[in-house]
Structure 1
Amino acid sequence: MANDLSWRPKTGEIPTDPGVYRWLDAKGRVLYVGKAKNLRARLSSYFAPLDSLHDRTRKMVTTARDLQWTIVKSDYEALQLEFTWIKEFDPPFNVRFKDDKSYPYLAISTNEDFARAFITRNRELRSVRYFGPYTQSWAVRETLDTLLKVYPIRSCSKAVFNAAAAKKRPCLLADIGKCSAPCVGRIEPKEHQRLAADFAKFLNSGDRSYIDELTQRMSTASENQEYELAAALRDDAKALAAVLEKSTVVFSDQTDADLFGIAEDELSAAVSHFVVRGGRIRGARNWVLDKELERDPAELVEYILQNVYSPKPGIEPQEIPREILVPVLPSDHREVALWLSDLRGSKVQLRVAQRGDKAALAETAVKNAQHAQNLYKMRRSADFTSRADALAGIQRALNLEDAPLRIECFDVSHLGGTNVVASMVVFEDGLPKKDAYRKFNVEGTKDDTESIHQVLTRRLRYLVQGDPEADGAKFSYRPNLIIVDGGLPQVNAAAKALDEAGITDIALCGLAKRLEEVWLPGDAFPIILPRATEELFLMQRIRDEAHRFAITFQRKKRSLSISSQLLEIPGLGERRVSLLLRHFGSAKRMRLATVAEIASVPNISEQLAEIIHATLNEDGQKLSEK
């Protein structure tokens, strides 16, 4: 059975994001590269009973000894990276390429009176500016077709251009708005040059500044009641956004670079390292390090660079590229760049990616680092020995009679003092017991201490025998330890609730996030747990889980609040409300939206958008007055 494979990752460890995966044999050779919209769903299918798999798939699964994956931002990026790695690793279980054609490029001629946009596989043409490469010809054709709607520059051959000029009749592209028809003088040469320059700038930068400019012009046209112009600008903005959504992981300028993404908390940091050579991603790896001492991001970057590139005896040195992209520059980045340049033998540029493809890949690297960190925490928490050590460590640190086998943690979340909610998460034997989690709506409190007191009072009411307000609904077990998210004020508020309930056999502490200090009721000084210990790791994970659960509930409550408010507007049904919330992504963004931005949502007229805008602003004013 595939389920018996000792190296098989747990289903919960596999992300549900789009990505590219690699099967490797015992020697590290890549056997197969594949892509998936949902990595967990796709990879789980490989671990079905062996007799149900195709012969070739069964052979690959039984030959493999490792499975790795890389998260990307979109299905299109997954397609690009899959083709890049198939070309790079030539895996035996992939379909082999039948030819060795070069990749297609989008090009603009620079030596003609009217610049021409075209697709080519020839990189040897003179006076041509190239963009790409693209891994699929359909992708570059679709990109060109979309951009010509916004920048209608010439795309025909010289023969077609001359024939149209002789007949004084443009081709079909001019009739459908994908060419400005310079062949018949519909556009001045300087204006066409400006269009071609904008076309090239957008492809080269790949940022949203052009879309923002078009959106602003659309809003202005709408305010001036120039609705046809506004609609045209809206369509142009959508077309450019569609091109950006298909951001490629194949760079346009034969980039040689190493790119690092980092995800960190107080105790550990995960690093994702992307190796880009010849404009393509040649490799990606993730690792996690424990932070023995507090390090700011700049120090952490310097530590990582030293660890990766410092020569090690008997080990092949890491290749140093011309460019290294990091999330933040070290404080002494000039000296670090000089050290790297000395190791390489030529200049190395150390910088932060600001925009374009490199910035997009930097975001992808950070997402992979976040996944690696979450995976590390899950695996560490699942280890029985680590959990036992953690519970024993908490028992010693807090001077408890027994190990806290059931721990409850409470956190409060609110938005500027409104929509106050709280969460309770439960860990038994060091593992989350999610069916025992609870959510609380909090009313009539002024600050976190009052909220903590109210929530603990309600929770402890269920532990007091004979309480008439308990309604017969009881929690399953009595906790050995209660943790609150916060410092001494929050702990004292929780202690007051325990005293009022007459409960003396439940231990209590607080965990302050900034320095990870453990506070006990009434103590003037906190307990400092040693860094990188199992007990601090477990307490941090419990506190972070309570925070996550509270934030999720608070966001859901805000979403439901704005949904009910929108449903009261005549002409808005559940379908349109759903479209609005999906379009803007959050209640906050929707409240900040202009009338034009609301009207850009399908099936929302300008008149209805004005009503929605006025309703949301009126509600926001009421909140501010409170």
Structure 2
Amino acid sequence: MADPASYRPKPGEIPTDPGVYRFRDEHGRIIYVGKAKNLRSRLNSYFANPATLLPKTHAMVHHAASVQWTTVGSELEALQLEYTWIKEFAPRYNLAFRDDKTYPYLAVSMGETVPRVQVMRGERRKGTKYFGPYTAGAIRETMDTLLRVFPVRSCSMGVFKRAERSGRPCLLGYIDKCAAPCVGRISLEDHKALAQDFCDFMGGEAKRFIGKLEASMAAAVAELDYEQAARLRDDLIALRKVFERNVVVLAEDTNADIFAVEQDELEAAVQVFHVRGGRIRGQRGWVVEKVEDATDADLWEHLMQQVYGGEEQQQDAIPRQVLVPELPANHGELAEWLAGLRGGKVSIKVPQRGEKAALMETVAHNAHQSMLLHKSRRAGDLTTRSVALQELQEALELPMPLLRIECYDISHVQGTNVVASMVVVEDGLAKKSEYRKFAITGDAAIDDTASMHDVITRRFRHYLADQEARNKSAGAGGDISAVVLDEYGNGAQAGDAATSKFAYPPNLVVVDGGIPQVNAAQAALAELGITDVAVVGLAKRLEEVWVPDSDFPVILPRASQGLYLLQRIRDEAHRFAITFHRAKRGKAMTASVLDTVPGLGAAKQKALLAHFGSLKKVRAATVAELQEAKGVGPVLAKAVHDTLAGTTGAAAPAVNMATGEILD
């Protein structure tokens, strides 16, 4: 790991002009490319006190061995040069957009002598027009339907040349889904015009072709040519089927791309709806690895560069409007650059209200679902889980495989109703039957570290008690057949009310927090004499992994499967703790209101809530209705009615006092 001071430029060497800079590693490979309005100001920020740098920046400057820069004449030129170098060198510390290959495109190779219609994925080719993206099923159906009306060649070049040599068309030529230019049924010029009509229809001129077919059908009927009219009718039905598949969402003159993003500390899922002629023509998605310190505005700038930078040969793919949730950095220069690629004005805006803002909410919902799907696929894959567990074991230098991981989180509101959660992961999968909740009171509720110490102590005290009970049973010569064992070897005497759930210890304890929480958990284990359980903490802000008695965290790679696993466990523990905290807080609030009623004890509070189902319904009840509850007489009913009618504010969440369940 290099020392940034060893390659830091001398004072005054860096110009104050706009430009593009690049960091190189010891082998000369470019690992990061960036642009700046003022090169000196921007580059000096990388050589600040290492303690003030964020982990990603810290890792980059220590990985690099040199820095170079190139001055340019304007911010627009810097934007163009930055994009060119990122595309050419693919630096590992720049934002990396992985295109979602789920959606294929309908492509027409207009650059060929005999254009071909086909389904394509991957990088775009020069001279080919693309439409979509579509889902796999929809694109096949669309292509099959349109070839009836626009019988453009769809066969491979090998099939085309074979038909050309034999003088006989392929099957598509016989069923009239190909005009058969291979055998001269149509001239090459006419076939190319047919392919252009196909592109025009897909490009938004559907109404022109539908109107033309309607006029031709009417003329055929007038001439009593009913066979031709029937063929035109079928063609018309086919075109309308394709045309009506795309829902009208905006005004017909609207051509726009609408973006939205769902992100966490490590990744962002980006979705875009392509609207052409007011209709949604396609959808596209990316998963972004956030490997550099970038704001939301920076993210949108890099996205625009990578989405549209490769469209020089596909100008119609750049719309007149680009709608985003937040204006990208240097949006003026970015719009000017896009306008140069498109050959016409491009505006970048944030919709505030109306149909466009509503459509952006739909795009945002798709981005959210895309992120959930991406995470669930990573979590559900056996190989991925195995890699994650192995990465964690190696990164933490643990001697044993991580068969069981327990994660703990503390939840409270300003020190009230303090609770904790324990979630369990075995073989990389959640084991919800062994989740546990802890209510924390007394001195243990003073702060998070005291609460964490208390929870770890209580959990592992149960473990030691279970172990001691089993050892005593074995030492007394207990009948092993009288012990009920579960799949992990935990057991209790046959006939006991429940089987122990704490006898199986984890290989790793994860706490939600930094070094204070980690040290508190480690101290609790040490006090109990437990030395074979590792402890780490995952800090929320920078996703750092802390180990006990360490001044520096373990920094896992940003795309590490092990880090993804830790993050999922931490988030699940947080969710479980929040759920319990809300239930406990709601129960406390409900009880506090009813406690103010003179003469209403715990039993009758329970009877009222059981009878009406919620505090809200108790408030709404009349004196006569209150008397229907068991044990509530006229005097008590009036006291309840008068007390609740005199309270102000929104009703607190009601809890079934018998079960602790939130009722409303």
**What TM-score results when the alignment is normalised by the length of structure 2?**
0.49
Post-superposition offset of 1:424: 1.1
Post-superposition offset of 1:612: 4.5
Q: Deviations over 1:28-87 (max 9, x none)?
A: 44699xxxxxxxxxxxxxxxxxxxxxxxxxxxxxxxxxxxxxxxxxxxxxxxxxxxxxx9
Post-superposition offset of 1:409: 0.7
What residue in structure 2 maps to residue 197 of structure 1? none
Match of 1:540 among 561, 564, 567: 567
What residue in structure 1 maps to residue 540 of structure 2? 513
Seen in structure 2, the aligned counterparts of structure 1 residues 576 and 525 have a Cα distance that, compared at 3 Å, is: closer
Seen in structure 2, the aligned counterparts of structure 1 residues 31 and 457 have a Cα distance that, compared at 3 Å, is: farther
Q: Deviations over 1:79-128 (max 9, x none)?
A: xxxxxxxx999xxxxxxxxxx9xxxxxxxxxxxxxxxxxxxxxxxxxxxx
CA contact (8 A) 1:262 1:366 kept: yes
CA contact (8 A) 2:271 2:285 kept: yes
Post-superposition offset of 1:442: 1.8
Q: Aligned to 1:440, what secondary structure does the other structure show?
A: strand
1:473 paired to 2:481: no
Seen in structure 2, the aligned counterparts of structure 1 residues 481 and 28 have a Cα distance that, compared at 3 Å, is: farther
CA contact (8 A) 1:422 1:455 kept: yes
CA contact (8 A) 2:456 2:524 kept: yes
Q: Deviations over 1:505-528 (max 9, x none)?
A: 001111111111111111111111
Post-superposition offset of 1:341: 1.8
Match of 2:646 among 611, 617, 620: 611
What residue in structure 1 maps to residue 283 of structure 2? 284
What residue in structure 2 maps to residue 25 of structure 1? 137
1:554 paired to 2:589: no
Q: Compare CA radii of gyration and give the structure with the larger one.
A: 2
Post-superposition offset of 1:260: 0.9
Range that drifts further, 434-443 or 389-398: 434-443
Match of 1:482 among 494, 509, 531: 509
Range that drifts further, 503-512 or 444-453: 444-453
Q: Aligned to 1:463, what secondary structure does the other structure show?
A: helix
What residue in structure 2 maps to residue 338 of structure 1? 336
What residue in structure 1 maps to residue 298 of structure 2? 299
Say how many residue pairs are matched. Answer: 363
1:528 paired to 2:555: yes
- Alpha-carbon distance in 2 for matches of 1:610, 1:301: 53
- Alpha-carbon distance in 2 for matches of 1:407, 1:356: 48
**Match for 1:330: what amino acid?**
P
Q: Aligned to 1:390, what secondary structure does the other structure show?
A: helix
**Match for 2:359: what amino acid?**
L
What residue in structure 1 maps to residue 461 of structure 2? 461
CA contact (8 A) 1:483 1:511 kept: yes
* Structure 1 unaligned regions, length at least 5: 1-6, 8-21, 33-86, 90-99, 101-134, 136-247, 582-606, 618-626
- Alpha-carbon distance in 2 for matches of 1:493, 1:439: 19
**Match for 2:287: what amino acid?**
V
- Alpha-carbon distance in 2 for matches of 1:404, 1:341: 54
What residue in structure 2 maps to residue 446 of structure 1? 446
Q: Deviations over 1:386-444 (max 9, x none)?
A: 21111111111111002211111111111222222211111111111122211222223
Q: Aligned to 2:463, what secondary structure does the other structure show?
A: coil
Post-superposition offset of 1:319: 1.6
- Alpha-carbon distance in 2 for matches of 1:380, 1:389: 11
- Alpha-carbon distance in 2 for matches of 1:579, 1:318: 60
Post-superposition offset of 1:252: 5.3
Range that drifts further, 274-283 or 264-273: 274-283
Post-superposition offset of 1:316: 4.4
Q: Deviations over 1:121-170 (max 9, x none)?
A: xxxxxxxxxxxxxx9xxxxxxxxxxxxxxxxxxxxxxxxxxxxxxxxxxx
Please list, as runs of the form range in 1=range in 2, the aligned pairs for 1:140-539 lying within 5 A after superposition.
Answer: 250-251=249-250, 254-311=253-310, 316=314, 319-444=317-442, 445-465=445-465, 473-475=500-502, 477-539=504-566
**Match for 1:391: what amino acid?**
L
Seen in structure 2, the aligned counterparts of structure 1 residues 447 and 317 have a Cα distance that, compared at 3 Å, is: farther
- Alpha-carbon distance in 1 for matches of 2:458, 2:518: 16
CA contact (8 A) 1:407 1:481 kept: yes
**Match for 1:461: what amino acid?**
R
- Alpha-carbon distance in 2 for matches of 1:337, 1:566: 59
Seen in structure 2, the aligned counterparts of structure 1 residues 274 and 23 have a Cα distance that, compared at 3 Å, is: closer
What residue in structure 2 maps to residue 38 of structure 1? none
CA contact (8 A) 1:462 1:473 kept: no
**Match for 1:557: what amino acid?**
K
**What TM-score results when the alignment is normalised by the length of structure 1?**
0.52
**Match for 2:303: what amino acid?**
I
Please list, as runs of the form range in 1=range in 2, the aligned pairs for 1:74-93 lying within 5 A after superposition.
Answer: none
Seen in structure 2, the aligned counterparts of structure 1 residues 384 and 30 have a Cα distance that, compared at 3 Å, is: farther
Post-superposition offset of 1:378: 0.9
What residue in structure 1 maps to residue 474 of structure 2? none
**Match for 1:529: what amino acid?**
L
Q: Deviations over 1:302-328 (max 9, x none)?
A: 121112111258x74672222211121
Post-superposition offset of 1:344: 2.0
Seen in structure 2, the aligned counterparts of structure 1 residues 311 and 401 have a Cα distance that, compared at 3 Å, is: same
**Match for 2:450: what amino acid?**
E
- Alpha-carbon distance in 2 for matches of 1:320, 1:560: 56
- Alpha-carbon distance in 2 for matches of 1:318, 1:545: 45
CA contact (8 A) 2:311 2:318 kept: no
Seen in structure 2, the aligned counterparts of structure 1 residues 256 and 452 have a Cα distance that, compared at 3 Å, is: same
- Alpha-carbon distance in 2 for matches of 1:386, 1:289: 19
Post-superposition offset of 1:575: 5.9
Seen in structure 2, the aligned counterparts of structure 1 residues 577 and 520 have a Cα distance that, compared at 3 Å, is: same
- Alpha-carbon distance in 1 for matches of 2:547, 2:311: 46
**Match for 2:319: what amino acid?**
P
- Alpha-carbon distance in 2 for matches of 1:511, 1:563: 35
**Match for 1:495: what amino acid?**
Q
Q: Aligned to 2:319, what secondary structure does the other structure show?
A: coil
Post-superposition offset of 1:291: 2.1
Seen in structure 2, the aligned counterparts of structure 1 residues 405 and 341 have a Cα distance that, compared at 3 Å, is: same
**Match for 1:613: what amino acid?**
T
**Match for 1:25: what amino acid?**
G
- Alpha-carbon distance in 2 for matches of 1:274, 1:344: 19
**Match for 2:250: what amino acid?**
F
**Match for 1:258: what amino acid?**
D
Post-superposition offset of 1:253: 7.3
- Alpha-carbon distance in 1 for matches of 2:294, 2:456: 35
Q: Aligned to 1:510, what secondary structure does the other structure show?
A: strand
Post-superposition offset of 1:369: 1.0
CA contact (8 A) 2:462 2:503 kept: no
Post-superposition offset of 1:456: 0.9
Q: Aligned to 1:546, what secondary structure does the other structure show?
A: helix
* Structure 2 unaligned regions, length at least 5: 1-101, 103-133, 145-200, 204-213, 215-243, 470-491, 493-497, 598-604, 620-641, 653-664
Q: Deviations over 1:506-563 (max 9, x none)?
A: 0111111111111111111111112111111111111122112222222333344445
**Match for 1:278: what amino acid?**
G
Seen in structure 2, the aligned counterparts of structure 1 residues 27 and 321 have a Cα distance that, compared at 3 Å, is: closer
Seen in structure 2, the aligned counterparts of structure 1 residues 578 and 372 have a Cα distance that, compared at 3 Å, is: farther
- Alpha-carbon distance in 2 for matches of 1:615, 1:265: 33
- Alpha-carbon distance in 2 for matches of 1:518, 1:448: 18
Seen in structure 2, the aligned counterparts of structure 1 residues 530 and 340 have a Cα distance that, compared at 3 Å, is: same
**Match for 1:292: what amino acid?**
V
What residue in structure 2 maps to residue 604 of structure 1? none
- Alpha-carbon distance in 2 for matches of 1:556, 1:508: 29
Seen in structure 2, the aligned counterparts of structure 1 residues 256 and 483 have a Cα distance that, compared at 3 Å, is: same
Seen in structure 2, the aligned counterparts of structure 1 residues 318 and 256 have a Cα distance that, compared at 3 Å, is: closer
- Alpha-carbon distance in 2 for matches of 1:578, 1:357: 38
Please list, as runs of the form range in 1=range in 2, the aligned pairs for 1:585-596 lying within 5 A after superposition.
Answer: none
CA contact (8 A) 2:311 2:317 kept: no
CA contact (8 A) 2:273 2:284 kept: yes
Seen in structure 2, the aligned counterparts of structure 1 residues 28 and 509 have a Cα distance that, compared at 3 Å, is: farther
